[in-house]
Amino acid sequence: EVQLVQSGTEVKKPGESLKISCKSSGYSFTSYWIGWVRQKPGKGLEYMGIISLGDSDTTYSPSFQGQVTISADKSITTAYLQWSSLKASDTAMYYCAKLGDNSEAFAIWGQGTTVIVSS
């Protein structure tokens, strides 16, 4: 069974850096795509960007370009989302999700990582 397990809740101060993770397991292929999705409290889903675990090819949503960095380590089947300088407005739940095989849909989701940025 394919699973995505995300790192735990983070509480940070404005200006701090952060890197959260999404580890995949139970999938035998080495090349697949993991996307990141933001959900602010009480709000909808926002697509942030996507990365290929096979060659780290990355695309950012225009709304998030330059705001975050998406990376991956194929050897440990883990994708990352990082900030160099957090803002209070980054407070949200962040989900990673795996694109389905041969379909442009997010078939498997992680449990989410809560990020709280507060002084």
Partner 1 sequence: QSALTQPPSASGSPGQSVTISCTGTSSDVGGYKYVSWYQQHPGKAPKLMIYEVSKRPSGVPDRFSGSKSGNTASLTVSGLQAEDEADYYCNSYAGSNNFVFGTGTKVTVL
How many residues form the binding site for partner 1 (CB under 8 A)?
Answer: 23
How many other CB atoms are there within 10 angstroms of residue 53's CB atom? 21
Q: How far is the CB of 16 from partner 1 (least distance, A)?
A: 26
Q: Which of 84, 89, 111, 118 binds partner 1 (CB under 8 A)?
A: 111
Q: Which stretch binds partner 1 (CB under 8 A): 11-19, 20-28, 75-83, 103-111?
A: 103-111
Q: Which of 1, 8, 75, 103 binds partner 1 (CB under 8 A)?
A: 103
Site string for partner 1, 53-72 (x = CB under 8 A): ------x-xxx---------
Rounded to an integer, what distance in angstroms lies between the CA atom of residue 44 and that of residue 10?
A: 21
Rounded to an integer, what distance in angstroms lies between the CA atom of residue 4 and that of residue 96?
A: 8
Q: Are 47 and 99 in contact (CB under 8 A)?
A: no
Asked if 100 interacts with partner 1 (CB under 8 A), we say: yes
Provide DSSP, 14-41: TT--EEEEEEEES---S--EEEEEEE-T
Q: Are 105 and 97 in contact (CB under 8 A)?
A: no
Q: Name the site residues for partner 1 (rule: CB under 8 A).
A: 35, 37, 44-47, 50, 59, 61-63, 95, 97, 100, 103-107, 109-112
